[in-house]
Structure 1
Amino acid sequence: MATQWPKPAEGSWTEHYPELGTGPISFRDSISPEFYADEREAIFKRAWLNLSRVEETPEPGSYITRQVEAADASLILVKDGHGRIRAFHNTCRRRGHPVVAVDYRATELRGTGDEFTCQHCGWRYGLDGTLRSIPEPDHFADLDLADFGLAAVHCDVWAGFVFVNFDENPRQTLREFLGPMVTGLDDYPFDKLTERYDWVAHNNSNWKIFADAFQEYYHVPALHTQQVPPEVRNPGAGFTCGHFQLDGPHRVVSTAGTRRWLLAPEYMYPIERATRSGLVGPWRTPDIGELPAGLNPGGIEPWGISNFQIFPNLEILIYGGWYLVYRYWPTSYNTHRYEAFTYFHPARTVRERIEHEVAAVVLKEFALQDAGMLGGTQAALQYDVVDEFPVNDQEILVRHLHKTAVDWVTDYQREQTPAGAQQ
């Protein structure tokens, strides 16, 4: 039976989730080195983390590397001979050297044939991680190659998105972790949208502070004036969303409307008018088939955009004919690496290719308007002058993310406390 999601009346989103409260919230979770230390253990070493899509390792033997600083990990993701994507720590079992050279770009594709060879010592590993052979094996006493394969990490795939989990015994399967709201996208044709543009930035802010910028649109009229017409910037007009929804640690926000005001020429760069593409993507996109009902769980009409925020650090923004992915990777309590990817239907003409490139560039500029503010936000929060911040009804996802992070850390801390000490 389909899950029945609540549809609160306008202006009552927060009230419908009373566990979140309605009072001011603290951002202390974003300025504390001690909290971040626990956050790494409680969240980034326990939750399912999206690292890539299946298109990034298309053939057996193709692989990529990924750095997950918050989990103290350097990984190899590889497609094995049976078509399964596997994840291993990029650590040779002999002396701990990287098995393959690390690439710090967001995406890169390399091919290894049918095995990995450590560049330092020549130990050779199969695509399934088994240690196949070593130079001069008679120099080792009682060495059983079967005991020294690459250290594996739990790896699973949903809708073409590749996830890993560093927990020795994950508490949930990937599908259980994602829950019905996210898996309502099972039938979205992600596999048809394979033309990708990506970029990476490093930001002097906590990862949650950056995520907050894409969880509410209250700030849009004030910050993004280039793209917002005066009737929306006027006091009292605002920018409201049509639907908010929570499911476990995950969140979604959907906007309604045809976005006609975004397509008005006077609020565009000249290149957008010339190419008929920009902030909302190409004005016309190929028919990619029927879209799943889970894409618009609130049933708002006319539907515009849905932003699925998958805890802890993945966002999938779907515009119907194309989609956008953001990932946030903490590098310290007040810095993170920010990755962005736009996915389109493969261009059929030169004009379509130009439309895609223009959209990717304009979207990057729009996102960096937010990014440019957040180093200052982080610095101001760290002065620790104020610890109570009011959030409005359209900021329910901000409230939810910070509560979820605190709840996961609190649960972890409780587990680490001896039973007698809890009394």
Structure 2
Amino acid sequence: MAHFPKPAAGSWTQSYPELGTAPVDYADSYDPQHYADEQEAIFKRTWLNVGRIERLPKAGSYFTRELPSVCKGTSIILVKGKDGVVRAFHNICRHRGNKLVWNDFPNEETEGTCRQFTCKYHAWRYSLEGDLTFIQQEGEFFDVDKSQYGLVPVRCEVWEGFIFVNFDDNAGPLNEYLGPLGKGIEGYPFGEMTEVYSYKSEIGSNWKLFLDAFTEFYHAPILHGGQYTKEEAAKIQATGFEALHYQFETPHSVISSWGGQSPPADLDMVKPMDRTLRSGLFGPWDKPDIEGLDALPPGVNPARAPKWGVDSFVFFPNFMILLWEPGWYLTYQYWPIAADKHIFESNLYFVPPKNARERLAQELAAVTFKEYALQDANTLEATQTMIGTKVVDNFLLCDQEVMLRHLHKTARDYVSEYKKTHKTKEHANGATC
């Protein structure tokens, strides 16, 4: 469903009556039982992005991902086989359950290249395709059939160079899951943007609270006012900010906004350093000369706004792709580790720089983004602490916060549907991965 421009009567929110307009209950962001339900209903049963194919450039390339959001201790290996296929496996040796791939610290992620995987404990070996190929002193075992003891696979599919996994063998295919929003941005030149800047941090809040912060601009004139000149900050605060377009293809969504044109129409609103390096929060001003940016996929800038700047696609549950008008993109991921804690990851992707000035322009964009993200994150622990007191249990949301309504409703609906169809006592008896 798409609505653009904003309806002359009513509002974005009222265009989606299933979302309602009443205050929203935020118990889903502090209740430990609800968090446990989300692990079972959402993170074990939806497609999760775990990286890009550029991290697996040749046969034998691999990296590991720690995924406590799925279940405590969950670790997987992503590897490119000799046949060029990207596969995923649980990072568990079939002999005594030791973690198979790790370096100095078993709880830390690692990457590299190998011909086979060898367990550090008893030297059992596995091929890149997950087959058990060698057992130390095999004769000491009883009627062992190596073909029955390969690595445990995890469903793995690749879309536009993004690697996804799903722990539910009964889930539909990835393309079907991503739906119209995914289809609409196929063909964007993701593969040309291989210069990467990465940030990762543990945040003391529920994972949905940080998603909330990045799916509305109502806060921007106030919280980020310091990033503008004093005069421009006052102007923005007086006039406010409103996005160009909202669209829901449940469970996913997109918000499209102005800003980010290169160069900015009003150079007085940016700082001297931005003008010198021709860069800033919205990325380098000079669009790279690559195929795919002149004729963008149909899902980009869905409102066809002449002053379009950025689209933020939310692929439920925890993956965001932001496509910027100047020709770069970034991703956000939110990995819950408790009801009130999550790991935030962000990656900024640029076309590799051709000279020192282009490199500095990208670095300025990266550090400016980090400052903005810290400003957003700085509010989250205070929010988490206060909602956890339960003094107030329902919170007003304005029309610009319609995506927050959609996110929390979607997450609650997943949990409710799971409870209806899985009438077991998993949590009482101890859920398994």
Give me the whole-angstrom Cα distance separating, in 2, the residues matched to 1:260 and 1:183: 27
The reply to whether residue 9 of structure 1 matches residue 7 of structure 2 is yes
8 Å contact from structure 2 (residues 336, 343) kept in 1 = yes
Letter in 1 for 2:418: Y
Give me the whole-angstrom Cα distance separating, in 2, the residues matched to 1:270 and 1:106: 40
Letter in 1 for 2:36: A
Shift in alpha-carbon separation, 1:263–1:104, aligned structure 2, 3 A: farther
The reply to whether residue 386 of structure 1 matches residue 386 of structure 2 is no
Q: How does 1:35-114 map to 2 (within 5 A)?
A: 35-72=34-71, 73-101=74-102, 109-112=111-114, 114=115
Give me the whole-angstrom Cα distance separating, in 1, the residues matched to 2:121 and 2:265: 56
The reply to whether residue 127 of structure 1 matches residue 124 of structure 2 is no
> What is aligned with 1:415?
421
Q: How does 1:370-381 map to 2 (within 5 A)?
A: 370-381=376-387
8 Å contact from structure 1 (residues 106, 198) kept in 2 = no
Q: How does 1:24-423 map to 2 (within 5 A)?
A: 24-72=23-71, 73-101=74-102, 109-112=111-114, 114-170=115-171, 172-228=172-228, 229-235=232-238, 237-257=239-259, 267-288=269-290, 289=292, 290-320=295-325, 321-417=327-423
Long gaps (5+) in structure 2: 425-433
Letter in 2 for 1:308: F
8 Å contact from structure 2 (residues 159, 175) kept in 1 = yes
8 Å contact from structure 1 (residues 75, 88) kept in 2 = yes
- 1:262 Cα deviation after fit: 6.2
Long gaps (5+) in structure 1: 419-423
**Percent identity over paired residues:** 45
8 Å contact from structure 1 (residues 243, 300) kept in 2 = no
Q: SS state of the match for residue 378, structure 2?
A: helix
Deviations 1:104-125 (A, max 9, x none): 999854111x211111110110
Give me the whole-angstrom Cα distance separating, in 2, the residues matched to 1:146 and 1:133: 11
Give me the whole-angstrom Cα distance separating, in 2, the residues matched to 1:402 and 1:410: 12
Shift in alpha-carbon separation, 1:338–1:263, aligned structure 2, 3 A: farther
8 Å contact from structure 2 (residues 260, 310) kept in 1 = no
- 1:168 Cα deviation after fit: 2.7
Q: SS state of the match for residue 362, structure 2?
A: helix
8 Å contact from structure 2 (residues 256, 311) kept in 1 = yes
Q: SS state of the match for residue 281, structure 1?
A: coil
Give me the whole-angstrom Cα distance separating, in 1, the residues matched to 2:100 and 2:269: 51
Shift in alpha-carbon separation, 1:365–1:105, aligned structure 2, 3 A: farther
8 Å contact from structure 2 (residues 102, 110) kept in 1 = no
Q: Which moved more, 1:82-91 or 1:96-105?
A: 96-105
> What is aligned with 2:428?
none
Q: TM-score, normalising length from structure 2?
A: 0.91
Letter in 2 for 1:294: G
Q: TM-score, normalising length from structure 1?
A: 0.93
- 1:68 Cα deviation after fit: 0.6
Equivalences, count: 412
Q: SS state of the match for residue 121, structure 2?
A: coil
8 Å contact from structure 2 (residues 3, 246) kept in 1 = no
Q: CA RMSD in A?
A: 2.0
Deviations 1:162-184 (A, max 9, x none): 000011321x1101110012221
- 1:353 Cα deviation after fit: 1.1
Give me the whole-angstrom Cα distance separating, in 2, the residues matched to 1:409 and 1:167: 15
8 Å contact from structure 1 (residues 223, 369) kept in 2 = yes
Give me the whole-angstrom Cα distance separating, in 2, the residues matched to 1:381 and 1:295: 36
Give me the whole-angstrom Cα distance separating, in 2, the residues matched to 1:346 and 1:60: 24
Q: Which moved more, 1:224-233 or 1:248-257?
A: 224-233
Give me the whole-angstrom Cα distance separating, in 2, the residues matched to 1:308 and 1:107: 27
- 1:232 Cα deviation after fit: 4.0
Give me the whole-angstrom Cα distance separating, in 2, the residues matched to 1:189 and 1:199: 22
Give me the whole-angstrom Cα distance separating, in 1, the residues matched to 2:175 and 2:108: 25
8 Å contact from structure 1 (residues 106, 339) kept in 2 = no
- 1:277 Cα deviation after fit: 1.1
Deviations 1:151-207 (A, max 9, x none): 00000011111000011321x110111001222111101011111110101100000
8 Å contact from structure 1 (residues 232, 239) kept in 2 = no
8 Å contact from structure 1 (residues 30, 333) kept in 2 = yes
Shift in alpha-carbon separation, 1:105–1:293, aligned structure 2, 3 A: farther
Give me the whole-angstrom Cα distance separating, in 2, the residues matched to 1:393 and 1:60: 50
Shift in alpha-carbon separation, 1:15–1:224, aligned structure 2, 3 A: same
Q: Which moved more, 1:45-54 or 1:173-182?
A: 173-182
Give me the whole-angstrom Cα distance separating, in 1, the residues matched to 2:57 and 2:65: 16
- 1:226 Cα deviation after fit: 1.5
8 Å contact from structure 1 (residues 227, 262) kept in 2 = no
